[in-house]
Structure 1
Amino acid sequence: MTRTLILTRHAKSSWDHPGMDDHARPLNKRGRRSAQAIGQWLSEKGYLPDEVLSSDSARTRETWDRMKLAAKQTTFTRALYHTDAQGLMHALSGATGHCVLMLGHNPGIAAFAEGLVKAPPPHDRFFDYPTCATTVITFPVEDWAEVTWQDGTVLDFVIPRELPE
């Protein structure tokens, strides 16, 4: 059996209100379009999560909402707000879905993606993981707790700028 992980960095957020708390910042216009485009791409490719683990920030919540996908279980948690790769691994180890989508922030999400895969995708933006970058990775495991570093195989990687509007 295999498990599939979709790693998505939140879409581009707004900086229109300089005094606003970082956790509360919403998406900007480009971010709203990007989240929709990524959701459509995932749907068209058949990468449909049955579980979502996400930071509880406004921008990750809005990214998920605008992706217009459905999942049996969605968890928004402060524990994933600006966590590092190890924190993301800990959260993943408790997942129960067959296909899990994780929504998070840089630099943690980029480090997590890089640490999980045997070989990176041949894409010059994988290592800096721009906003709404999405990697689809498979693991040869029965349970998420069995995932180890550098055990995943990249199925796909995309950034919003490569998708039609």
Structure 2
Amino acid sequence: MRHGKSAYPPGVADHERPLSERGRREAALAGAWLQDSRPPVDAVLCSTATRTRETLAATGIDASVDYENRIYEASPTDLIELIRAADADVTTLLIVGHAPGMPWTAAELSYNRDSSAATAIQAKFPTSALAVLSFDCAWADVDTGLGTLTDFHVPR
């Protein structure tokens, strides 16, 4: 999940920027969609940035959370390393991060890069958007091209 739309208050550093009203509303819609259409999230990796923390709070997801500074400005390699370190008991993992890391990682992990969801991600991965991937392997074995991109949702 990419964080919700952020505000740009004067004098506030990028890492500390909060969500805008639109960002809170769309993050709540994303959380409702996740809870209505997907298995329960049982673990979350969230960037330490203010806007990602506020996004997670707005989703209403109640799961174990690890706040990771490495998600801020992460590359696909960084994010895949974090995924590989997920506890083996985790069934559904939510990552709340930033562009371009989140869309690039979703594209890298997906083997079905010609699907409608993959085409949508390549066109634009807006704020509060969710890419849903499934894997037929343990988290420790996740790698480029091993995921199935099952959905791409933009809450509006």
Q: Under TM normalisation by the shorter chain, which class is it? A: over 0.9
Q: Does 1:95 align with 2:86?
A: yes
**Larger RCO, structure (CA 8 Å, separation 6 or more):** 1
> Which residue of structure 2 aligns with residue 34 of structure 1?
26
Counterpart among 98, 106, 114 of residue 113 in structure 1:
106
Return the match for 2:145 from 128, 135, 150.
150
Residue of structure 1 in register with 2:128 after alignment? 132
Deviations for 1:12-41, whole angstroms, at most 9, x for unmatched residues?
0001x1321101001001100000000000
Tell me how far 1:56 sits from its aligned partner.
0.6
**Which runs of structure 1 show a deviation greater than 4 angstroms over 4 or more consecutive aligned residues?**
none
Mind listing any 5+ residue stretches in structure 1 that lack a counterpart? Answer: 1-7
Could you tell me which runs of 5 or more consecutive residues in structure 2 were left unpaired when the two chains were aligned.
none
How many angstroms does 1:46 deviate by? 2.8
Partner AA of 2:130 in structure 1: T
> How far, CA to CA, are the matches of 2:110 and 2:38 in structure 1?
21
2:54 to 62, 65, 72: 62
Q: Which has the higher helix share?
A: 2
Residue matched to 2:41: 49
Where 1:125 maps in the other structure, the secondary structure is helix
Give the distance between the partners of 1:86 and 1:46, measured in 2 at CA. Answer: 26
**Alpha-carbon shift at residue 42 of structure 1 (Å):** 0.5
SS in 2 for 1:160: coil
Could you tell me the percent identity over the aligned residues?
35
TM-score, length basis structure 2: 0.92
- Secondary structure at the aligned position of 2:120 is classed as coil
SS at match of 2:133: strand
